[in-house]
Amino acid sequence: MDPTTRRRFLIASGVAGGAALAAGAATLSLTDLLDTAGERPEGAKTLVVITLYGGNDGLNTVIPYADRAYHDARPELAYEAGEVLRLDDGTGLNPGLKGLHELFGTKRLAIVRGVGYPKPDRSHFRSMDIWQTASPERPGNTGWIGRWLDGAGADPRLAVSFEKVLPPLLAGQDCAGAVIGAADAKLPKAVTPDVLAGFAAPAAGEPPLQARAAACFGDLARVREMAQQVKDAADEEDGADGGDDTPAATGTGGLAGLQAQLDLVAQCIEAGVATRVFSVSLGGFDTHADERNLQETLLSYLDRGLTAFHKRITAHPAGKDVVVLVYSEFGRRVRANASDGTDHGTASNVFLLGESVPGGLYGEQPSLTDLDDGDLKFTVDFRDVYATVLDRVLQDDPGRALGGWKGALPWW
């Protein structure tokens, strides 16, 4: 392939923009990542962070179905006792989380209720900044994983995102994680698989940077093929069930997006790459109207993608060392609004999934009547969750990445 033609195509199509310009991402391809197979230290564990963008409604995810105040506050949105997937005599999971309910029953899923931080902010952007930087007191410019990365060798290959852009979560002071966001790349219609393969073919005697561009085209083809296979499988399943249209999403994500991201994570884990942290996401949770069906559909997407990922990696020896953390920037208000939806709230739930996680229901359920201006009062500081993950999964001193934070989850 003529190097000039390849370069002109990159510029015209915009493939080289966006994620490729994110900090630390411009020099990393999927091939680079897979080339680290065998460099992983013995006993090193893996963290997979799933961000639910938009503010997932925690009360209709982990449901206090036995609390009369729950039904009084949201009569059209509330789930009855017979509809939930029971966790105990007062709490149940959303009906869309059947796979996670089974994992809870086998003690592989920990559900932490009432997670939040002091003086909560209801802005999507500010609250997500707080969760990703772990700095609720003042705006931060580094993420909590980025700060871990600074002390873990400042190698961008250690923390990788399969999202469209680098999340602040992975930005450190001295180093940033890397982005491989090709799963949703859109190519001109004229670019067929054969044309893409031609772009990926190296040319004899071409300079190293042009040869690297060829390798990136090869990665693009591989990632897009995997994403399409995942999407086709999901479409077949939806068609067999009668199916629903994929709901409009806020932020990143969508069914094929999440499953494709997790499929790439699984491939990397099975290959034994050096990466210790993977970041993926699902969007669409800003449910101000007609929430019940939309959220249940989104949660079923999360459930299908996450349970398939767990089944795949636990069939591999490396699977026992993988922990998944699922969070959203805030929950929703206790009382439903006039549009059968909920508005921005505060405390919510965090899920932790893995073979090494002591499964169970943890954290005090916030009161639905003793509220802070209509919102739940948090009972678990989110930095306790992060500190425990840094200690148990990333095997590092939590205080270094969390500004000396001393708290932790007492049950793990």
Per the confidence metrics, is the pTM higher than 0.75? yes
Angle (nearest 5°) at CA 330 between 384 and 336: 135
Pair 117, 355: CB distance under 8 Å: no
Q: Output the pLDDT for position 196.
A: 55
The tens-digit pLDDT sequence of the chain (412 residues) is: 444 444 433 333 333 333 333 333 334 677 888 889 988 888 999 999 999 999 999 999 999 999 999 999 999 999 999 999 999 999 999 999 999 999 999 999 999 999 999 999 999 999 999 999 999 998 888 999 999 999 998 889 999 998 878 899 999 998 899 988 544 445 555 556 666 566 667 777 777 656 655 555 555 555 455 445 444 544 544 444 444 444 443 344 434 489 889 999 999 999 999 999 999 999 999 999 999 999 999 999 999 999 999 999 999 999 999 999 999 999 999 999 999 999 999 999 999 999 999 999 999 999 999 999 999 999 999 999 999 999 999 999 999 999 999 999 999 9
What backbone phi and psi angles, to 5 degrees, belong to 349? Answer: -110, 155
- The DSSP line for 162-199 is -SSS--GGGB-SS-B-EE--GGG----TT--HHHHHHH
Q: Find, among 217, 240, 389, the residue nearest to 304 by Cα.
A: 240
């450190």: which residue's tokens? 172
Alpha-carbon torsion, ordered 57, 86, 387, 295, to 10 deg: -20
Q: What is the pLDDT of residue 236?
A: 45
